[in-house]
A and B are shown apart, each in its own frame.
Chain A
């Protein structure tokens, strides 16, 4: 095995486990896993908050266009937040 191979990492998105072979994931990639498939042609706005991440970015909010290092056991919540 070459050391360029990425490890399989298990992350949790909206309480569901996903196995990904990635170092980093983008906002859109995470939304696509949360809502599969993601609706196109729609300007619905999602919010992503993560915790139990890598030491460099343990917890925070992932903004559109951004990406974050993934780690085993990292927990993502992906929701809209229109309702009161």
Chain B
């Protein structure tokens, strides 16, 4: 992505042609090798980073919606070595565009908004670099430096600018954990896929042998057309078609996980078990416990009581140090489909809640969210709007 946007965008290309060391990374414009004076009036070099307002990876949006620029270096000083603190909005370590930054700079143009990014870059670099440039004609902000191409293979077809705009790229990198498996992409599993496909995991492996039927449409994210349903696609194919538009590495397995093929889970860094029967669960759990792979198992039980629904949504987490205590909460026996007490009711919103709770918990295990309870099991009681956590002993 790095130079492509610059080549396609007139204003950014002009900056490059003028001699700025520009690069684009993670939805940000990075301007390298900007000379400035520190307090000892020594020439130093800093980096300026600006969040880009993108229409797509190849196109800037029409406006500059954020006038703030981010700086890596000391607070730039004037020709006397006095720090230009009027430029600085705050000084806190943060990260954008892959660059570790120390300051947020703020300067609005007289008109109130920058016309384009060229005007923004000119304004800031002039303020930062003019003191040095005025005393040494050999040192320039526009020095035509060679920029190393830092294109790394992204798992996405387009950049996650949600993370860059919120300045959480560093935290989001914690989700790059390798291969994740979703066993069963029915109701809850399809919502898990919806959420995991928006994270930078290396690969997402989906396992399901079923066809995506009309009733599945009412328990999956998005909405198929009648024609799509009539084609009777496999669940893995239907979901892959949708989500591979965003995440490039969704791998389909159009069969159930059984005792015979469970070793296909061996390479996974994490597993979401979203099956609907005890025998399926049992086959997987014993095997992956032995391998030391952490997993989350989900399940719900909804009943009709006097014309209204009630029930619970379960999210159970098993890691290498909580195997025994987690297993107590896993329904590994019983629950025959023909059993009237084993309810068959599932509702899309509850599938979505179960999936969201499971993904949030996975993110806690990755260190993305803090985790103050470290619960191994949580029960969302639908009719009380309460979640009961079971913490490890």
Residues of A within 8 A of B (CB): 14-16, 35, 39, 42-45, 47, 49-51, 59-61, 63, 75, 77, 79-84
Contact = CB atoms under 8 A, between A and B. Distances in A.
A49 B314 CA distance: 10
Contacts of A49: 312, 379, 381, 388
Q: Which 10 A-B pairs have the closest CB atoms?
A: A79-B301, A81-B299, A44-B334, A81-B314, A43-B334, A84-B188, A84-B274, A49-B379, A82-B335, A80-B301
Contacts of B393: none
A61 B379 contact: yes
A45 B300 contact: no
A35 B384 CA distance: 20
Contacts of B390: 60-61
A84 B351 contact: yes
Interface of B: 184, 186-189, 274-278, 298-303, 305-306, 308, 310-314, 328-329, 331-336, 339, 341-346, 351, 354, 377, 379, 381, 383-384, 386, 388, 390
A17 B276 CA distance: 30
B311 A79 contact: yes
A55 B198 CA distance: 43
A84 B331 CA distance: 12
Contacts, number: 120
B388 A83 contact: no
Contacts of A42: 334, 336, 339, 341
A80 B354 contact: no
Contacts of A16: 305-306
A47 B329 contact: yes
**Overall SS of chain A's interface:** loop
Nearest to A45: B331
A42 B334 CA distance: 7
Contact of A82 (B299, B354, B381, B388): B299
A66 to B, nearest CB: 11
Nearest to A51: B386
A51 B384 contact: yes
B329 A84 contact: no
A47 B306 CA distance: 21
A84 B383 CA distance: 19
B69 to A, nearest CB: 47
A51 B312 CA distance: 13
**B300, B336, B354, B379 — which one has the most chain A CB atoms within 10 A of its CB?**
B379
A44 B339 contact: yes
B388 A81 contact: no
A12 to B, nearest CB: 9
Given A61-B329, A83-B299, A14 B274 contact: no
Given A14-B311, A47-B301, A77-B379, 9 more contacts: A14-B303, A16-B305, A47-B314, A49-B388, A82-B278, A83-B302, A83-B344, A83-B346, A84-B299
Contact of B342 (A44, A61, A77): A44
Contacts of B187: 83-84
B98 to A, nearest CB: 38
Contact of B377 (A15, A61, A75, A77): A61
A81 B331 contact: yes
